[in-house]
Amino acid sequence: MEISSLNLNPKYKILVTGGAGFIGSNLCEALLKNGNSVTCLDNFATGRKQNIHHLLDNKNFTLLEGDIRELGDCNKACVGVDYVLHQAALGSVPRSINDPITSNSVNVSGFLNMLVASKDANVKRFVYAASSSTYGDSESLPKVEDKIGKPLSPYAITKYVNELYADIFSKTYGLETIGLRYFNVFGRKQDPNGAYAAVIPKFVMQLMNYEAPVINGDGSFSRDFTYIDNVIQMNVLAICNSSKNAINTVYNVAYGERTDLKELVSLLKQYLSTFDPKINTIVPTFGPSRQGDVPHSLASVEKAKKLLGYNPRYDLKSGLKEAVSWYWENLK
């Protein structure tokens, strides 16, 4: 389902925090194409100006360089806004283990600032990026929204606290909230560089450089990898839906299938070898498992389908083909 087929009428003024990041910049672009006015708030700690450079001349796009840890920046960004899509956060389980204080400051204090600013500005709805890490040590599969375990990392704690705060703000102040528990999102503009790069762009870059991908563990860990366009669809649906039953809750954002890391590398080699056959000869290596990693992740998306009309168009294979083509064209 393309964003153009979703009903965003009348057009809105939408704030995307973290709008220069991977998910945020894709949201900004899609919302502008649909005729909305978009404000991007970003401090460029992890976001990149090149992600939004092509949007700067759009009369409906406003860039605010600021930090969600500063309440004044949040208040300024929320002026006149209809909807907030809160994507700003410090991701990565390993990052949070190495530096829990900064992760908490951004993901909890910054989140609270945005809730307060949204409430005070009377925004219509606050839609925020939650995380599949909230399921923690729960071994049940598929993951269903109302059954979670104990968090396994500081990052997971911060994202769970976000859900608790959102729930309190909806009950106490009447602020409409929707949390979207993202499951391993991938796609165009996802940064392959740095110590905390996500697994798909990292593997892609290693393969394009004829390097052996390093799989953490024995390769049996599995994930519900989710293409960026499915995530865009869910954010738009979270804005569009007017049913009281659909708000003040959380949803899984995924495709609903899981793939282990060995199969992931095999697929990446297959798709990249259409551009360079030499890549298909590369053999991955195996390293230690990462602390805080959940062994298996698989989402039920039935709640989102029922209450929001979610209909994910991209499974892993179709999404990987799109992503691999983008990386080859833009980063090779």
Point out the residues that are catalytic.
155
Q: Degrees (nearest 5) of the Cα angle 240, 241, 244?
A: 145
Query: Are the C-beta atoms of 89 and 107 separated by less than 8 Å?
Result: yes
For the beta carbon of residue 304, count every other beta carbon within 10 angstroms: 27
Q: Which amino acid is at 38?
A: V
Q: Please provide the DSSP assignment of 250-307 as one string.
A: EEEES-S--EEHHHHHHHHHHHHTTT-GGGGG---EEEPPPTT--SB--B--HHHHHH
Specify the residue for token string 């410090």: 90
Nearest to 273 by CA among 1, 67, 265, 299: 265
Cis omega before residue 100 (within 30°)? no
Query: Are the C-beta atoms of 4 and 31 separated by less than 8 Å?
Result: no
For the chain, count helices (H), then strands (E).
11, 13
